[in-house]
Structure 1
């Protein structure tokens, strides 16, 4: 146990507990008025992850590692419960038991994948079994490239049909990230032979360029939504939510680049540890 374990744990919990909290809100907004029990459950998860987020910000880098280990276990349990809630909702939607709701099946699946990612990371931290760098580079990129592709699809479907230019841009990003995901999966299937420094470095460089373009597109969309300058049913918080996840992916790419080649990171840590 070390200071690094505490810093890494707090970084993950602060970022992902906020994401889980916001998922609860988005799911709630997508339910029908008559889905009172599901709305109530979503509200409970919102309160739970808001509490976790606040507690995570109350800890510092100097907190006893054993305290953080127990906290991670508690958060893991909460994340497992919201994961199960999301999968339950997905089943109801796919079996046509929530007709007329506004939660897209892929969006619900997307949020459950992020919950599963979060709880797996907590397990890795508490057991001290983080992946070797070459494996982590491929696995993290496979995960986040799919997340970015999903985001582009959601943006396209939530914009008003009259916003033709923005829809075209979103669809372009969807196609681009689908292709990047296919490339990442090819690299995955070729490992360990594919895990050379030159190939992984090129992999990171190529993904960084595309993620930065998508991040900037999301930033512009967020600003336009905030200013009520485009027609959509995108909640302003959702626009900020997907922007933050793209920014997080860029940070991760830069951290991998620095670890792989010694190049200085180009992005600041998105979450400061006080």
Structure 2
């Protein structure tokens, strides 16, 4: 169990610290040139999470669990601070105090939700109180389905309007994931009666199909953006960022499926690399 705690902690920190680092960059790019204080704060958070990411990479599954527990506490503190920063930015935008800036309110809310998810996961790991499988399946899917729906909306709005076919595809994904999210929330409200193995298995299967399709769309968009073959204002790193989050969701779905049915993981389960 101690090795499992270390492995799970390192997996979460390695993945999400990079995400937090990149959030800092994306927010900074959306500020106006006169927003020097916000730019400086974003740069500080970038450095903080880059250092956390590097430390997490230096640890391995043989690291003393107490060392990892203390590390998780440090990371939790950093994530709590960036969450406060993100919510401050959201408040400034919604009060019209950053006119002309380029961060969508929904995007800022989105990245703050991810920070809150990350810090909650760290607290659960250190407390040794991860959710039972049926609850985790529903809660993780509700969270990630909304993330995927948001991504589709961001892609649609950041593509050039002349990229009509890609915009239509992104809008289709937005509608698809909105419907999947509504279904997930219905399953959530029917708990605990809805938490039967057949229903949860079907729930995972249905979501996997749509997430895999969106993941493939994101990969294609990322490759086209990197090759400068489509018109957009999407940063190449943002395109890769949303692709990696779809990959993460697919891995979680596969992990749940394996735990629920006893079937072997169809994808490589080795997330933490020593």
**Normalised by the shorter chain, which TM-score bucket?**
over 0.9
Structure 2 residue aligned with 1:67? 67
Distance in structure 2 (CA, Å) of the matches to 1:4 and 1:271: 12
Structure 1 residue aligned with 2:32? 32
Distance in structure 2 (CA, Å) of the matches to 1:263 and 1:139: 22
Distance in structure 1 (CA, Å) of the matches to 2:271 and 2:223: 22
Partner SS state of residue 125, structure 2: helix
Distance in structure 1 (CA, Å) of the matches to 2:17 and 2:105: 22
Contact 2:145 2:181 in 1 (8 A): yes
Distance in structure 2 (CA, Å) of the matches to 1:253 and 1:242: 17
Structure 1 residue aligned with 2:195? 195
> CA offsets, 1:147-193, max 9 Å, x none?
00000000000000000000000000000000000000000000000
| Distance verdict in 2 for CA 1:270–1:147, change over 3 Å | farther
Distance in structure 1 (CA, Å) of the matches to 2:12 and 2:38: 27
Distance in structure 1 (CA, Å) of the matches to 2:267 and 2:94: 40
Structure 2 residue aligned with 1:264? 264
Contact 1:92 1:98 in 2 (8 A): yes
Structure 1 residue aligned with 2:49? 49
Structure 2 residue aligned with 1:236? 236
Partner SS state of residue 102, structure 1: coil
Per-residue deviation, 1:109 = 0.1
Per-residue deviation, 1:265 = 1.3
Contact 1:251 1:270 in 2 (8 A): no
Where does the alignment leave 5 or more consecutive residues of structure 2 unmatched? none
Per-residue deviation, 1:206 = 0.1
Where does the alignment leave 5 or more consecutive residues of structure 1 unmatched? none
Distance in structure 1 (CA, Å) of the matches to 2:132 and 2:125: 13
Partner SS state of residue 129, structure 2: coil
What's the RMSD between the two structures over aligned residues? 0.7
Structure 2 residue aligned with 1:216? 216
What is the 5 A alignment of 1:1-274? 2-269=2-269, 271-274=271-274
Contact 2:10 2:272 in 1 (8 A): no
Distance in structure 2 (CA, Å) of the matches to 1:193 and 1:45: 43
> CA offsets, 1:189-220, max 9 Å, x none?
00000000000000000000000000000000
Distance in structure 2 (CA, Å) of the matches to 1:231 and 1:269: 36
Distance in structure 1 (CA, Å) of the matches to 2:269 and 2:242: 17
TM-score (normalised: structure 2): 0.99
